[in-house]
Amino acid sequence: MQPSADPPASSASFSPSTSSSVPLSRTTSLSSQTDITIEPSYSSGPAYAQDSLLIMRDSLIILESALRELESQAMDQGLLNNNQFGEELQKIRQGLDDIDKGQTNGIQEINRKYPGPECLWKAQFVVVIMEDMLKHKALDVIRKQVDDEIKDKLGLLIQEEVQEYLKQEMPSKLGKDLQKMNTELDELHRDLHNSESKRMNSFLREKNPHEPLQTICKSDGKVSEYFPKTLDELFNLDDKACKALVQDYGLEVSSSKDGNLNRFMVFAGVQYQMVRRGNNSKHVAFDIPGA
């Protein structure tokens, strides 16, 4: 006995007396870039519908397992917390849930409106839906498109991470290297200046006491405020100035004025030493032996 209600309106229609029907085409979208169109085949009978249902569920399990594996790989690479990447995976998973719910709701609606296992068109309609939704070939295409989409996202994420690292780390590293090179260059310039000054100071003689004394730079590149301008000023430094000079240039401090002065003159390249003669308070400059 045929059901009293008419079959549902659809792009596919079936008749118990004929095997010809209008082809049914359905588009299933998992994301904005995953569109698949499947041309269903035609089979009939409740037994075939039951087999297709089992195939559908097995295919869903396979695809669900593949998604879990992709999520695990993303977690291992620290990408699951990325908002954009997580949203893409959620879209794919939501699409699968929609397929499952849509297929289930569709079959329930058919059973409610058109009861009766003897309805051949009903069995054919269920088979076409299941084949259209989860045909093995469609699953392979979906899996490939999902893999390609995730690979593209991974490539973009890696590129963004590298660029962000370069923005944050490279300027800092280059700045430190540049600062180190500048420091070394300053030290070379200071050493060169001091060497040349000591060489020039070695030519100074007492008969020309007002010739300029070439400056010596401290470790910070500056010249001590107590540094004498001429040989005459050097010979007439007081005790405070002599002590300050040896301290500024990191020399060992002596307990006597003459000791501090002599140490500084050796350091500055001056070829003289100060000595006392008896009780005379004057200081006399002598050439250093071998000078």
User: pLDDT tens-digit profile of 222-236?
Assistant: 999 999 999 899 988
* Residue 13 in domain: no
Instruction: Say if residue 144 is in the same domain as residue 214.
Output: no
Cα 107 from Cα 132, distance rounded (Å): 13
Q: Summarize the confidence of residues 114-123 as an average pLDDT.
A: 53
Q: Which of 15-29, 36-50, 143-157, 270-284 has the lowest mean pLDDT?
A: 15-29
In the prediction, which pLDDT does 3 show?
Answer: 44
Tell me which residue has tokens 């295919």. 59
Q: Is residue 180 part of a domain?
A: no
Q: Does 57 share its domain with 141? A: yes
Q: Please identify, among 121, 140, 168, the residue that sits at the C-terminal boundary of a domain.
A: 168
Band the pLDDT of 138: cuts 50, 70, 90: low
> What range does the domain containing 77 cover?
26-168
Distance of CA 82 to the CA centre of its chain: 13
Mean pLDDT of the chain: 69
pLDDT in tens, 179-213: 888 888 899 999 999 999 999 999 988 888 899 99
**Is position 164 within any domain?**
yes
Q: Could you tell me if 151 and 211 lie in one domain?
A: no
205 neighbors 222 (Cβ within 8 angstroms)? no
Q: Is residue 127 part of a domain?
A: yes
Same domain, 40 and 138: yes
If asked whether residues 137 and 214 sit together in one domain, one would say no
Q: Is residue 209 part of a domain?
A: yes
CA distances from 30 to 94, 105, 233, 264 (A): 8, 18, 91, 85
Q: Tell whether the model's pLDDT for residue 60 goes beyond 60.
A: yes
In-domain check, residue 198: no
| 16 found inside a domain | no
In a domain, 199, yes or no: no
- State whether 155 and 210 are in the same domain: no
Same domain flag for 162 and 208 = no
Could you tell me if 152 and 240 lie in one domain? no
Statement to judge: residues 34 and 141 lie in one domain: yes
Q: Is the domain of 163 the same as that of 32?
A: yes
- Joined together, the tokens standing for residue 230 give 């001429």
Residues 159 and 285 in one domain: no
Number of separate domains in the chain: 2
Q: Which helix (H) or strand (E) holds 191?
A: helix 136-201
Same domain, 118 and 221: no
Encode burial over 78-88: b for 16+ CB neighbours within 10 A, e otherwise: ebeebeebeeb
